[in-house]
Structure 1
């Protein structure tokens, strides 16, 4: 139990730290950040339940006003902005990424890539595009077009998450809780 709490807090901090990586803001106003990589790693390393709890802790801290999102954003106003769906989707994305790694018996690298891709890109985009459409008053396809420039970078992050998870599994197999019995 104590170990799980430590990992949950550590990975919530990882998401926050990845928000410090300088962001690149496109014309749509949505920044390219490394935080989604942290969400992917929450799932692929910690597993579904712990990964969702870590991402949920991060979202709760943002809601409390801590400026943890990229660009130093935090507070309840974040949840009515165009990026609200992405922030609110972090726990679900981490859960799905972890669930895929836990259930799919492929090698850890392949399962982690699939989990990061399905949860950290697919589910996160589903939540983010839906939120963007609602906040901006656009149709779902119009909102999807706004985020399409981010897809190549997120595919790269999914590959990076798989590589990190695979490397961690090789160096410290017990630390990859998504595969620890």
Structure 2
């Protein structure tokens, strides 16, 4: 027995179907970027260790590198840029509970401006490592890879620009600024170790986050 002929699906049906998934991805990106921007702010305003240079030792670097490691280059950079935009707009989310464009006249200007580049480079390096070794057989190797990516990002962006900012705002020579910046290196290594451990734990708890890094 022959039934009524099936009606062909509308020509644009396939184009309509992916829309909810696309909206969901955008919503997830926005939520992750906002969450990490808030996390960076919390780490910045926690009481830091004062130094003679006027640039305190805080957990900002830990949060910035973690954003790049976990979110990837693009989303990690956006999280840091959102944090900086909120702080420069006047909200007290910088170290010491400060905010506004006045921080650009302080000795920490180079470090602040380097943060987006650090997150971007950390995310890029982890992405490159994952393309070379898609799955890590041993968790310790994953932590080491994440640590190396974070530390390289910090050494190649935060410290050089931080030194430049110290020279600019404190009228120091290159050697003097280098010695001031060297005080932050031991803590920076420790913070990158913590960032690598936390990022590896996040990837194991949420494996889809590791696959969707961008």
Question: Is the shorter-chain TM-score for this pair beyond 0.5, marking a shared fold?
Answer: yes
Scaled to the shorter chain, the TM-score interval is over 0.9
Q: Aligned ranges for residues 67-146 of structure 1 at < 5 Å?
A: 67-104=92-129, 105-106=132-133, 107=136, 108-146=142-180
Distance in 2 (alpha carbons) for counterparts of 1:176 and 1:141? 40
Aligned to 2:14: none
Aligned to 1:157: 191
Tell me how many residue pairs correspond in the alignment: 180
Report Cα offsets for 1:50-71 as digits up to 9, x if no partner: 1111101111111101110121
C-alpha distance 73-121 of structure 1, shift in aligned 2 (>3 A): farther
Q: Secondary structure at the match of 1:25?
A: coil
Q: Secondary structure at the match of 2:184?
A: helix
TM-score norm. by structure 2 comes to: 0.79
Q: Does 1:62 align with 2:87?
A: yes
Say if 1:89 and 1:127, in contact at 8 Å, map to a contact too. Answer: yes
Say if 2:72 and 2:213, in contact at 8 Å, map to a contact too. Answer: no
Aligned-residue CA RMSD in angstroms? 1.6
Aligned to 2:52: 27
Aligned to 1:168: 202
C-alpha displacement of 1:21: 2.2
Distance in 2 (alpha carbons) for counterparts of 1:50 and 1:33? 23
Q: Secondary structure at the match of 1:176?
A: helix
Residue 5 of structure 1: which of 30, 34, 39 is its match?
A: 30
C-alpha displacement of 1:147: 1.6
C-alpha displacement of 1:139: 2.0
TM-score norm. by structure 1 comes to: 0.93
Say if 1:121 and 1:154, in contact at 8 Å, map to a contact too. Answer: no
Report Cα offsets for 1:8-56 as digits up to 9, x if no partner: 1110001001123211102222100001111001100000111111101
